[in-house]
Amino acid sequence: MTNAPEPTRRDTDHRRMEIAAAAERHFERKVSWAAQCGDTRMLFTHLAAPAMTRLRLPERRVLDTLIDAGVARSRSEALQWCVKLVGRHEREWLTELRRVLEDVETVRQQGPASDL
């Protein structure tokens, strides 16, 4: 009986990529790899959020403050937290905005046809 060496990360790349592709198809979103042992969790891949590149430094500082305060673990998570907070506290305004947008779409459809 021989003791075969443990496979390295490089040895398992192909299989992990197959699993990730299957998970992305199933969940219809990008996936990240992580491992957890007890209370310790380690992320191996991170997803970039394109919206971050459109934020100015003051907005990024808001997100970084939420991270520093332990409210979020990443800018992406902080942005998600902000969106949920606005949605919760501005529900009536957002509902009215959606209604007005539906009216705009109705008026557009009643307008002249474009041959472009």
Q: How much is the pLDDT for 65?
A: 93
Q: What is the pLDDT of residues 75-107, one digit of tens each?
A: 889 999 999 998 888 888 888 889 999 998 899
Task: Tell me: do 43 and 53 sit in the same domain.
Answer: no
In this structure, the number of other CB atoms found within 10 A of the CB of residue 72 comes to 19
Query: Same domain for 36 and 70?
Result: no
* DSSP code of residue 28: T
Better-scored residue on pLDDT, 74 or 3: 74
d(CA 70, CA 63): 11
Q: Is residue 37 located within the same domain as residue 68?
A: no
Task: Decide if 116 is inside a domain.
Answer: no
pLDDT of residue 24: 83
Question: Would residue 82 count as lying in a domain?
Answer: yes
Tell me: do 30 and 77 sit in the same domain. no
**14-60 tens-digit pLDDT:** 888 888 889 888 887 777 777 788 888 887 766 655 556 678 888 88
39 and 52 housed in the same domain: no
Is there a domain that residue 6 lies in?
no
This prediction has a pTM of: 0.42
Domain extent at residue 15 = 11-47
Collapse the DSSP code of 88 into the 3-class scheme (helix H, G, I; strand E, B; otherwise coil) and give the result: helix
Strands of the chain (E only): list them.
34-37, 40-43
